[in-house]
Amino acid sequence: MVRFVGSDATGLPLKRKQVAQACARCRRRKKRCFHNCDDRSNGLSPSSIETARLPSGDGEVASQALTDHPTPAPPPQFEALPEPTASPTREEHAARFVGDLSPEAILMEATSLCSTRDVSVRGGLGIWQPRAAPQLAKSNSALTTFPSRHAVQDMLKAYVWSHCLACCPPPSDYAVLRRIYVEKLDPIFPILGGHILDSPKDDIEEKVLQQIVSLAAAPDPEATRHLRLKSEGALLSRHNFCTSLSNSIQTIVDAGLFTDRIFLTRALAALSLYMQPSSPDEADVPALLSGRAIHQMHTLGLQMASEDNYTNSQATRTLFCCIWALDRINGAFYGRACLIHERDVGWNLNECIAAQAPPFRLFLMVIELLDKVIGLYRPGNRQEKDIIIELPIFEQMILDAGAARVSSGCLASLEIFYHSVAILSSQSPSENRSTALPAPATNSRRSLAADRITSIVGQEYPGQLSYFPIIPYGVSLSLSVSYRKMRHSNVPMYRSRGKQAFIANTSLLKSLDDTFWTAKTMVAMAEQVLQEMDKAVASITQETGLADASKRVEPVTRGPDELPLSGTGDAILDDPNRSIGDFSVLEAVPDLNIFDHFDPTFDLGAVDTALEGNLDFGTSSNWFDWQQLWG
């Protein structure tokens, strides 16, 4: 017979009369050591250790010997589900951060020599407790303690394995989507870290990684011919493609199949940015996912600085910067309170930003400006006089970030984000926000920034941008600026100019409404405003005897070198069946306000509140209410 002799944690064989040796640290401190007795503390006897060393062919016998009670069988109506393979990366064995305010920290530091004290620049605020792989697996299955929850989770896992993990583009289409993501999106927002280059060894994480990449790259015009979820399946619309992927990723996350909390944090943050709600019930899901990502970040203590010699120090800083930026973006998009505050962060934020790659560094520099702008709109900060935040020149920001060699498409996308922040960087007292003549600095900055956004998206770089949600957000702000000019100007020439800009921005949003829900909501509202304006112009010309401007205007012909407004066509300007009135016929009556001649049943006040609220963080989180109102 062959007898297998067990060994301790240091690799020495276990003998019947052998005395256990203390580790080097305990020998120096002359303390009793328990670190070489991990097997005893886990309730494993030497015989069970020997059994665990059986050949791989006896895996079932070994697994039964390692437990004191038999493993419960799965429900009869479901087959046994394969367990995800563990990834041996350092990120999987992430430590749990416990602050000094918790009594657990005192006991943990006194009893566990494996714990590590925080050595951040603020003097240390807690300790890190290492997580072993088995303990991490148990923590993810804590919700299955009760039999009812266990059965429900088994049902959810069965659905995940049969439906959600299979929802993925075929390899040929995924290769194109992955290239789009790597070239246009990952340099600006590297939320997936090194996983995009080195796929996770866990099968579930690898599938979710492919789904996230496909979801992020879907809005790009180049991806239109690759939106499939089956090898021989038909092409899907962007809306259906993104909705299927978003639902699959959310179900996998809710099933609790991830064993790597760092990857779970990345997945939640990426899904928060790239998913698009499909119904009013999902309006707050992106903000909710962002809050869950921040919760995981705080649980792991990623906001606390680590030692410079830590293996994943740079990856941790990059991940923290991504979540911090996402928190500010959600504050602007959805009118939410920021959940990460500088006073609670152990990192030096300026040093973290300076350590990033040039495209991401430039993106974070714009986020810093947005963080200052958000301060204008916090409760109680409304001032009695006009306030405008000074912004650096974007060209100088590019040079300071070392991003001069970044592709023009990425720089143009970040410039759109910069001009969006510029539109929001000025604030007027509430009683002056709807006057005909706004503050000079406010008017000029907003008008120039809005014109630049429209020009970049529609004429300079159509189809070449990095299609983040910041693109439709910027165009929506430009639409609001043109609406305010059209709504409150007393000069017909400026009203006509505002209407042309309003039509151009509506056309741009129309080309994006199949992907971004904000664009779809704004387009529905803007089109109804244009229809009411055309009716009002026709009614005025008929009553006053002016030239009939309600007849259809001939389509605008472009020169051979003139680019269209958007990469997918001008959905409004090139529609031959659309009637577009001309304000020039009303110049004979400069005091005439066309909005006073709207149909009384048309809720103009709701339009004013929605469109002008974009410039004041007022109704960003209520866009779905407007979608329900305007179809």
| pLDDT average, residue stretch 349-356 | 93
Q: What is the pLDDT of residue 548?
A: 47
Is the predicted pLDDT of residue 292 greater than 90, yes or no?
A: yes
| More confident position, 41 or 586 | 586
Residue that the structure tokens 């714009």 belong to? 366
Q: What is the pLDDT of residue 248?
A: 93
For the chain, the average pLDDT equals: 75
* b/e burial code for range 368-383 (CB count within 10 A of at least 16 → b): bbbbebbebbeeeeee
Question: How many other CB atoms sit within 10 Å of the CB of residue 161?
Answer: 18
Chain segment 399-417, per-residue pLDDT in tens = 999 999 999 999 999 999 9
Q: On the CB side of 346, how many CA atoms lie within 13 Å of its CA?
A: 23
Answer left, alpha or beta for residue 525, where phi above 0 means left and psi between -120 and 50 means alpha. alpha
Q: Which two tokens stand for residue 465?
A: 């941008």
Chain segment 563-619, per-residue pLDDT in tens = 444 343 344 444 434 444 555 555 656 667 777 778 777 877 777 777 777 777 644
For residue 13, give the 3-state DSSP assignment: strand
Domain extents in the chain: 1-71, 142-329, 357-630
Chain segment 257-283, per-residue pLDDT in tens = 888 899 999 999 999 999 988 777 788
- Name 588's Cβ contacts closer than 8 Å, sequence gap at least 6: 546
In this prediction, what percent of the chain has a pLDDT beyond 70? 63
Chain segment 219-254, per-residue pLDDT in tens = 999 999 999 998 877 899 999 999 999 999 999 998
Tell the burial category of 74 from Cβ atoms under 10 Å away from its Cβ (0-12, 13-18, 19+).
middle
Q: Which two tokens stand for residue 155?
A: 């049902």
Cα–Cα distance measured from residue 614 to residue 479, given in angstroms and rounded to the nearest whole number = 9
Cα–Cα distance measured from residue 249 to residue 211, given in angstroms and rounded to the nearest whole number = 7
User: CB under 8 Å, gap of 24 or more: what pairs does 374-381 form?
Assistant: 374/328, 374/331, 374/332, 374/338, 374/617, 376/424, 376/425, 376/427, 377/427, 377/616, 377/617
Cα–Cα distance measured from residue 114 to residue 95, given in angstroms and rounded to the nearest whole number = 11
CB 387 within 8 A of CB 427: yes
Cα–Cα distance measured from residue 43 to residue 67, given in angstroms and rounded to the nearest whole number = 9
